[in-house]
Amino acid sequence: MLYDPITINRLTLKSRLVMPPMQTGRTDLGHVTDDLVNYYHERALYSKPGLIFTEHSCITEAGRAAKEQLSIADDGMIPEHRRLTDAIHAAGSRVFVQLNHGGSSAVPFDDGEIVSASAVVNLRKPSPRMPRPLTVPEIHELEDAYARAALRALEAGYDGVEIHCAHAYLLNQFYSPLSNLRDDEYGAACMENRVRFLLETMEKVRAVIGADCPMAVRLGGADYMPGGSTEEDAVEAARLIERAGADLLDISGGMCGYIRPDCKEPGYFGSMTEKVRRAVSIPVILTGGVAKLADAERLLAEGKADLIGVGRALLLDAHWAEKA
């Protein structure tokens, strides 16, 4: 079952095994290195995931979430990313870029100001600097930055793009009521407002990548914290995201990051992905604590998701699938 094909938009994947985006620290201040290229090539070659998401790439230098974060913030990065996509394609896997802005968790090289939905310290990665709330014109400027980054990704040979709205990064900061205290049309009064920034970004990205290019969204659907977003919120948001033209939903945590504090079993976001999958018609990815082939097969058989992400196990061992 895990090695059954599946089609995303017009792209057919040879299996339902996904390598999720995981920062490796193998860049040179955001630039692609031989070590990074070899890392992805080996995992595509030996474990043969149908889809690889490269680690999150910053869309602007001011939105950099770590000094070593991969960058796709300017046109000069296109040839470097082409090295990555060529290496992954040569080994037989498809690859999506993940586009991200750190928001209140950003650590820009110039140590400049950081921005967010509201003046709220990041709950996952606290910074000594208080973020400044974005103005509406600045929101629109960042939407354009996501679109420009998506166009670079296509020129670099990526098979699709993923917009990162999880793990307490910028778009997720607008989605979560714990970090969004705004009272305007981007505030937390209703779900449409909470995902407005995301949906407008999706519209602009779609305009540059075209109808046939797969567009995924990584949604930090639930914070698993008092007063935070819930699994029911994730279902409501997923319906809006599908309606806005997403081809794939990649479900994870919000302010809790990629770990669910109250559950450690394999596929620990499965209760959320199962609810989301029943509510939408596009494929859904489940990632979280899956390290054994039998668990991946079981989660698919139980209807928890359509694709399974294997993260840490693949991070540690390029030969994971061979051994499994």
pLDDT tens readout for residues 156-199: 999 999 999 999 999 999 999 999 999 999 999 999 999 999 99
Query: Which residues, in sequence order, are bridge partners of residue 96?
Result: 53, 160
Cα(228)–Cα(51) distance, integer angstroms: 31
The amino acid at 224: Y
pLDDT for 128 equals 82
Quickly tell me which residue has 């596009």 as its tokens.
282
Q: φ and ψ at 88, to 5 degrees?
A: -70, -45
Angle, CA 276 vertex, CA 274 and CA 278 arms, to 5°: 70
Q: How much of the chain, in percent, has pLDDT values that exceed 70?
A: 100
| Residue 115 DSSP SS3 | strand
Residue among 101, 108, 109, 84 nearest 32 (CA): 84
> Can you list the positions of beta strands (E) in the chain?
6-8, 11-13, 17-19, 51-53, 57-58, 70-71, 94-100, 115-116, 132-133, 160-165, 215-222, 248-253, 284-287, 307-309
Question: Over the chain, what is the mean pLDDT?
Answer: 97
- The tokens describing 1, both together, are 């079952």
pLDDT of residue 109: 78
pTM of the predicted protein model: 0.97
CA distances from 182 to 169, 224, 241, 251 (A): 17, 21, 21, 25
Confidence check: pLDDT of 50 > 90:
yes
Q: How far is CA 102 from the centre of its chain?
A: 12
- Is 49 in contact with 34 (CB distance < 8 Å)? no
Q: What is the pLDDT of residues 246-256, one digit of tens each?
A: 999 999 999 99
How far is the CA of 206 from the CAs of 40, 78, 145, 162, 306, in angstroms? 27, 19, 13, 11, 23
pLDDT at site 135? 98
Name the percent of the chain lying above pLDDT 90.
95
* Predicted pLDDT of residue 324: 83
What per-residue confidence (pLDDT) applies to 187? 98
pLDDT for the residue 219 = 98
Check: CB of residue 283 under 8 Å from CB of residue 6.
yes
| Model confidence pLDDT, tens digit, residues 27-42 | 999 999 999 999 999 9
Express each pLDDT in 84-123 by its tens digit. Answer: 999 999 999 999 999 999 999 999 877 789 999 999 999 9
Cα-Cα-Cα-Cα torsion 130, 223, 225, 194, nearest 10 degrees, comes to: 60
The beta strand positions in 170-316, using DSSP E, are 215-222, 248-253, 284-287, 307-309
Per the rule left: phi > 0, alpha: psi between -120 and 50, beta: everything else, 63 is alpha
Output the pLDDT for position 90: 98
Q: What confidence score (pLDDT) does residue 171 get?
A: 99
Q: Is the pLDDT of residue 78 over 80?
A: yes
- pLDDT surpassing 80 at residue 283: yes
Neighbours of 304 (CB within 10 A): 22
Q: pLDDT digit string (tens) for 214-272?
A: 999 999 999 999 999 999 999 999 999 999 999 999 999 999 999 998 999 999 999 99
Give φ, ψ of 95 to 5 degrees.
-145, 135
Q: Walk me through the domains of the chain, giving residue ranges and CATH numbers.
A: 6-323 (3.20.20.70)
- Averaged pLDDT, 290-303: 97
Under the banding of pLDDT at 50, 70 and 90, the label for residue 75 is very high
Angle (CA) 198-89-41 rounded to 5° is 95
pLDDT tens for residues 188-224? 999 999 999 999 999 999 999 999 999 999 999 999 9
| pLDDT attached to residue 125 | 87
Instruction: Using alpha carbons, select from 31, 52, 30, 29 the residue that is nearest to residue 41.
Output: 52
CB 213 within 8 A of CB 9: yes
